[in-house]
A and B are shown apart, each in its own frame.
Chain A
Amino acid sequence: MYGFEIIQELATIMSGKELIVSSNGNISRQVYHYCPRPQIYLRGSMGLPISVGLGLALARPEKQVLTILGDGNLLMGMGSLSTVSYVRPSNLKVLILDNGVYATTGEQGTTSGTLNYPTLLDGFGLPSIVPILKNDTTENVRGKIQIWITASELSVLPALVDTKSPKLNNIPLHPEQITELNRNYNNKLHIR
């Protein structure tokens, strides 16, 4: 199973109540191409997607905030696991797509291979779902995403995935437009 396939699966499960924060590089591109729009596509600020997701979840309690990041981003912002565990917003869900490499910059290795996710997350006091494994069936993966997305509390879903990123065009939006689109979209929803 590749990371982008999990994002494609997620797209079929989303109900419209979710707001995605995606991390810089391939993951933001994949979320832009495969999921309903608009979402919050981060382009830089490596290490901060979980923090952005936390702030958003607190400000928008009526939304399910899904934060999607890779192992490189996770390792750079590991402290944010402690912060989210402490604050514990029930509408924050974190999906870690661990392919063991910095895929966007040319697949240089990360140090994530030694992590034991269930133990790590448990140590941080974080509720987590049984990790998605590389040889899980599609049904299995869909089931884990479903449990994660409908969890009644803060929940982390780690996924060990194969490395391959489809060639996708850059996101054709300036970050200012990303902010603007989200603001307009959410205002419209409020008016309805």
Chain B
Amino acid sequence: MINPSEFLNFLREKEFTFATGVPCSYFSRMINEIEMHQESITYIPATREDEAVGIASGVAFGGSRAFVIMQNSGYATIGDALTSLAQLYKLPILLFISWRGLESDHDFPEHSIMGNVTKEALVAYQVPYWELTDENWQLTIEMALTKMEDSSRPVALLVKQGVF
């Protein structure tokens, strides 16, 4: 498991000062940690995932950095926020997307179809992505950030159960 405090310090060092999103149980420890340390990274709870992308876009317009937390079910709702805002206006944003609908979610059929097409949906919207695991997580995030900076566009990290 990734230690939430180390994770937040790492992102803070990478100049992230804002986070927003809609929760997933996979991220509950991480969100608790952010909310306990608002002075380091300010967390803004959004009502929808596209709204969260809008907030992160505003932060990027203002010259600061935000990361966004969502389930893959929420990723299914952000197509227009990506294509007609964050990607179109070249706004660098880091997305953490929980990968629901895999084996461990066999009792949650609401996630099964999206779970099957999550990678394809990322490819379809031309969002570069990496799978984040607790091994070498700093390196994976750094690779994603390099792409985010070079392209000045959103990139995504897919997170399975048990990583946070």
Contacts and interface: CB of A to CB of B under 8 A. Distances in A.
A179 B54 contact: no
Contacts of B64: 58-59
B42 interface: yes
By size class, the interface of chain B is: 20 to 34
B91 A179 contact: yes
Contacts of B162: none
B83 interface: yes
A175 B56 contact: no
B90 A48 contact: no
A79 B45 CA distance: 11
A51 B46 contact: yes
Contact of B63 (A21, A46, A57, A59): A59
Interface residues of A, number: 36
B114 interface: no
Interface string B38-66: 00001011111011111111111111101
| Residue from B52, B56, B61, B63 with most neighbouring chain A CB atoms (10 Å) | B61
B18 interface: yes
Nearest to B59: A55
Interface stretch (A80-88, A113-121, A152-160): A80-88
| Residue from B42, B57, B60 with most neighbouring chain A CB atoms (10 Å) | B57
7 contacts: A48-B85, A51-B58, A55-B57, A82-B47, A178-B89, A179-B61, A179-B91
